[in-house]
Amino acid sequence: MLRRSMTRLSLLSFLGAAACSDGGAGPKLPPCTAAGFQVTLPVVSAYTSIDPGTAAGCIVFPAASATDSAEYLVVPQLTTGAPGKTSSFRLAGDTIRPALIAPAYSAPALDDLAPAERFHAFLRLGDQDHWRSLNPQVAVPGMMAPARSPAAPAGPPAMGSQRTFKVCARLNCSVFDNVTATVKALKSNLAIYVDNAAPAGGLDSAALDTLAATFETRLYATDTAAFGRESDIDTNSVVMVLMTATVNKLVSKAECDRQGGAFVAGFFFGADLDPAFRTDSCSN
């Protein structure tokens, strides 16, 4: 039982969450602020279910008063659908903390970074915010999203086949280029596309094969061992890499010279893996 005067509850449980604590052994709970999930129950004996992952592990109860000293019963649940499965959890109560400091990368701070660093920070902040500023196809609240059938295995693209990509063409991704490219190198886990409009004198077939072999034998094994297998939402069984001059043009030669040779060599666009963007004009 938790009295209403205990205004902070953090949950670390069956979602596999991990965070730092104020000291001592075991996993640590994140600081809890007034921005946490606010529990509001309309009447005595009402109840609600809270996902600690969605609430970031922080659940805030109303403060007690002279006329209201309600108590709350907190019941952890494991809802995996797998009979007999068990898990541990951790509860801790405390008063709420001051609001968190501003994100490490605020808008003015981004302007102070070199172009490549600014672009990287912009992309990762976009991943954190799920790219809502680019207007994904978000379902209307209260409406059930249409069921998605598992896609049939498409298989890898054929050597020499073509497709069109949407590529961010500005450091703030305000413009996207349509890039038509051809598969120039193909391995079990990788397909390298080269922009059909790429200038002459670029990477030849030997250089592309060397890059593909390095990815296949070293990078892929290292990345998947550390982060797990790729999601493969298009079921083609390969990671697609696009070589295009659009990336080279993200930073002008003059700006590159001013920054001591800093430029964008490549990037990963998180919206490409967000189902909300499956039909959006700015994702692949």
Strands 176-186 and 190-195, sheet pairing: antiparallel
Q: Which residue has better confidence, 147 or 134?
A: 134
User: Can you name the residues that pair with 168 across neighbouring β-strands?
Assistant: 176
Instruction: Say whether pLDDT at 193 is over 60.
Output: yes
Is residue 9 packed enough to be buried (19+ CB in 10 Å), middle (13-18) or exposed (0-12)? buried
- Tell me what pLDDT residue 259 has: 77
* Segment 245-282, tens digit of pLDDT: 999 999 988 888 887 788 899 998 888 877 666 656 78
First to last CA, the chain: 50
Instruction: Say whether pLDDT at 178 is over 90.
Output: yes
Mean pLDDT to the nearest integer, 143-163: 71
Tokens representing 204 are 């030849």
- Tell me what pLDDT residue 280 has: 63
DSSP string, 123-187: HHHHHHTTTGGG---PPPTTSPPPP-PPPPP--PPPTT-EEEEEEE-STT---EEEEEEEEEEE-
* Segment 71-126, tens digit of pLDDT: 888 888 877 767 777 777 777 777 776 654 445 555 556 667 888 888 888 888 77
Task: Indicate the average pLDDT of the chain.
Answer: 75
Strands 2-3 and 239-243, sheet pairing: unpaired
Instruction: Say whether pLDDT at 9 is over 50.
Output: no
